Amino acid sequence: MSLANAFTMVFVSLGALAFFASWVGLLRFPDALSRLHALSKADNLGLGLVVVGLLPQASWPFGVLKLVALWLVSVLIGGATGQMLAGVIHANAGQISDDRETRPDTGAKSAARANPETAS
Angle at 63 between CA 57 and CA 56, to 5 degrees: 25
Q: Which amino acid is at 104?
A: P
Alpha helices in the chain (DSSP H): 3-28, 32-41, 47-54, 62-92, 109-119
- Determine which residue in the list 5, 10, 30, 108 makes contact with other proteins, applying CB under 8 A: 5
Near other proteins by CB under 8 A, which window of 11-19, 20-28, 39-47, 84-92? 84-92
The correct pick among 7, 23, 58, 92 for binding other proteins (CB under 8 A) is 92
Residue of 99, 102, 96 whose CA lies nearest to 114? 102
Report the distance separating Cα 30 and Cα 40, nearest Å.
16
59, 61, 98, 106: which one binds other proteins (CB under 8 A) = 98
Q: Is 83 in the site for other proteins (CB under 8 A)?
A: yes
Nearest Cα neighbor of 24 from 85, 109, 116, 115 is 109
Show the site string, 52-81: x = touches other proteins by CB under 8 A, - = not: -----------------x---x--xx-xxx
Contact footprint for other proteins (CB under 8 A): 1, 5, 9, 69, 73, 76-77, 79-84, 87, 92, 96, 98-99, 102, 110, 113-114, 116-118, 120
